[in-house]
């Protein structure tokens, strides 16, 4: 059934987070902080954590 639909193009992840995405980004940071048991998570912390870095890029 899916054969008749063209495969979607792979798009690259933007380097900069757009202002309209900040609500989602901050929710992700809060989820990461909760999972780690820390009060706050920021972009630097995501860069240092291999698992979260991959998840964030996805």
Model's pTM, two decimal places?
Answer: 0.72
Confidence at residue 2, expressed as pLDDT on a 0 to 100 scale: 65
**CA pair distance 15, 1, nearest whole angstrom:** 36
Confidence at residue 23, expressed as pLDDT on a 0 to 100 scale: 95
pLDDT band at 3 (very low <50, low <70, confident <90, very high): confident
The per-residue b/e assignment along 14-42, b for 16 or more CB within 10 angstroms, e otherwise, is eeeeeeeeeeeeeeebeebeeeeeeeebe
Does the structure show a pLDDT above 70 at 11?
yes
Does the structure show a pLDDT above 90 at 57?
no
Tens-digit pLDDT profile for residues 18-47: 999 999 999 999 999 999 999 999 999 999
């Amino acid at each position: 059934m899916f054969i008749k639909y063209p495969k979607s193009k792979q798009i690259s992840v933007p380097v900069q987070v757009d202002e309209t995405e900040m609500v989602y980004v901050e929710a992700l940071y809060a989820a990461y902080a909760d999972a780690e048991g820390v009060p706050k998570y920021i972009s630097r912390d995501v860069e240092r954590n291999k698992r979260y870095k991959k998840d964030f890029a996805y």
